[in-house]
Amino acid sequence: MKGTAIRGAVLRFRRFLHPPRTLRWRLFLILLTGLVLAHGLSFGALFLERTSAAKAMMLGTLEQDVATSVALLDRLPPEERGRWLAVLERRTYRYELGPGLPGIPELSSRGAEIARAINSGAGPGFPVVVESIPGDRPHLQAHVTLRDGSPVTIDVTPALMPLAAWLPLLLVGQLLLLVLCTWLAMRQAIRPLARFAKAAETLDPGGTSARLEEDGPSEVAHAATAFNAMRDRITHYLEERVRILAAISHDLQTPITRMALRVEMAEDSPEKERLLRDLSQIERLVREGVAYARSAHGDVETPARIDVGSFVESLAFDYQDMGKPVTVRGLSGAVLTTRPHALRRILTNLIDNALKFAGEAEITVSRDGAGRIGIAVRDTGLGIPEHQLAAVLQPFYRLEQSRNRDSGGTGLGLAIAHQLALAIGGALTLRNRPAGGLCAEVTLG
């Protein structure tokens, strides 16, 4: 336990020495450091000026007080001088009758200034000798000889004017205020960037994601307006691409049908079989193109509440009735509001893909801690290379490079499933299973 605590303390210290490399933290440190240094310089200049003023005041007061006190003690009878010592005592110096302590004549710069003030205050009629008294509490003693020959010692303990008790508290309060104001400034400056980053991450031109609010400072509002305009342009380009694909696919159906009829009317021959097979593949590709174009508008279906477990079991039973090896492990009581026809098309594409490449499919339904429902279609096939997991979700991308439609398909099945998942507010993810095979999971909710 002790070793764990030490390692934790070391890690915290390392994190302190290496703060997060975020723009918010860097700007916070730069502004806070500049403000604290400026505050420290201002406080230092004020403290230096206060110290100089206090020293000048102390030396001036000492000079006047020494002149008055020495003159008073010189005029008093020797037997009355002792009673006045307590009256003449101050915070940093006091008077003693007698020669005082032996000292050394070497004085610091501050001691020399005090000696000049005492000599100036005592005047030429009273000889003064100032010495430094070493020890645990270094101080000065000025030895003055009165006119009757009596020695008087002025014991000086130099000290600056004490700081007020509230001054450190004020300094701490000012520093805390600087930290708070700097943090608020960084929050205001970084918040628009965070909003832009989130909007860019969740950008779905064909979906129903909310537009970026065009408010705040003029620069932020202008950037938000530009971002929304870019989003609208992307949406327009995607819709135009889908319309072109749908139009071409739709227009091709009529001539393909006419060609198929003409071939059917021809005499039987090997060429006729090959032409019919080619026309069938072209017609299949056209149907898939129309389906992909429609998948971009999967949000036109009216949402409905479904029991996910029953929905998946019904789909699996349909395949089992056709003799397909499809098994299911459902989640009873999981109710979800979604678009059933779009979801059925997604799962159908995934199951067909698993049956085609692995010969069997297993469907599982689960719920995570956040309440999202995941419908996974698993198989025991060869899987997909890791570097191609994202590419296979793009239209017309085929792993099988023989160009044989019977073995490789059209390259639109996973793309349609992916597009429909986005259209109904979900997500499709692909990952290879550790034991072999592929897991395609649709996350909803």
DSSP per residue, 386-433: GGGTTGGGSTT--S-TT--HHHH--S-HHHHHHHHHHHTT-EEEEEE-
Domain of residue 43, residue span: 19-201
* Whether residue 307 sits in one domain with residue 275: no
Residues with pLDDT less than 50, the chain = 401-407
pLDDT at 78: 80
Domain boundary among 264, 296, 328: 296
CA separation, residue 196 to residues 25, 144, 203, 207, 232 (Å): 18, 81, 10, 18, 16
Query: What are the residues whose beta carbons fall under 8 Å from the beta carbon of 238, sequence distance 6 or more?
Result: 205, 206, 296
pTM: 0.47
What are φ and ψ of residue 60, in 5° steps?
A: -65, -45
Domain boundary among 172, 201, 230: 201
The closest alpha carbon to 142, from 121, 159, 167, 171, belongs to: 121
Region of residue 206 (left: phi > 0; alpha: psi -120 to 50; beta: else): alpha
* Per-residue tokens: 185: 């400034």
The closest alpha carbon to 97, from 147, 158, 145, 157, belongs to: 145
Residue 13 belongs to a domain: no
pLDDT at 401: 45
What DSSP element (H or E) covers 43?
A: helix 23-75
* Whether residue 251 sits in one domain with residue 372: no
Q: Where are the alpha helices (DSSP H) in 79-165?
A: 81-88, 109-122
What does the buried/exposed string (b/e) look like for 121-153 if buried means 16 or more CB atoms within 10 Å of the residue's CB?
bbeeebebebbbbeeeeebbbbbbebeeeeebb
Domain boundary among 296, 331, 347: 296
Region of residue 359 (left: phi > 0; alpha: psi -120 to 50; beta: else): left
* Whether residue 208 sits in one domain with residue 192: no
* Whether residue 403 sits in one domain with residue 267: no
What does the buried/exposed string (b/e) look like for 23-34 if buried means 16 or more CB atoms within 10 Å of the residue's CB?
ebeeebeebbee
433, 435, 437, 440: CA torsion to nearest 10: -30
pLDDT at 439: 92
Sign of CA dihedral 109, 111, 114, 115: negative
**Bridge pairing between strands 361-367 and 326-329:** parallel
CA separation, residue 258 to residues 101, 251, 253, 360 (Å): 129, 12, 9, 37
* Whether residue 182 sits in one domain with residue 254: no
For residue 12, which amino acid is it? R
* Whether residue 423 sits in one domain with residue 326: yes
Domains: count for the chain = 3
Region of residue 171 (left: phi > 0; alpha: psi -120 to 50; beta: else): alpha
pLDDT at 409: 56
Residue 10 belongs to a domain: no
For residue 77, which amino acid is it? P
* Whether residue 77 sits in one domain with residue 56: yes
* Whether residue 363 sits in one domain with residue 351: yes
* Per-residue tokens: 321: 């009735």
* Per-residue tokens: 194: 């965070």
Pairwise CA distance, residues 287 & 276, whole Å: 16
The closest alpha carbon to 241, from 296, 203, 282, belongs to: 296
* Whether residue 145 sits in one domain with residue 39: yes
pLDDT at 290: 67
CATH number at residue 232: 1.10.287
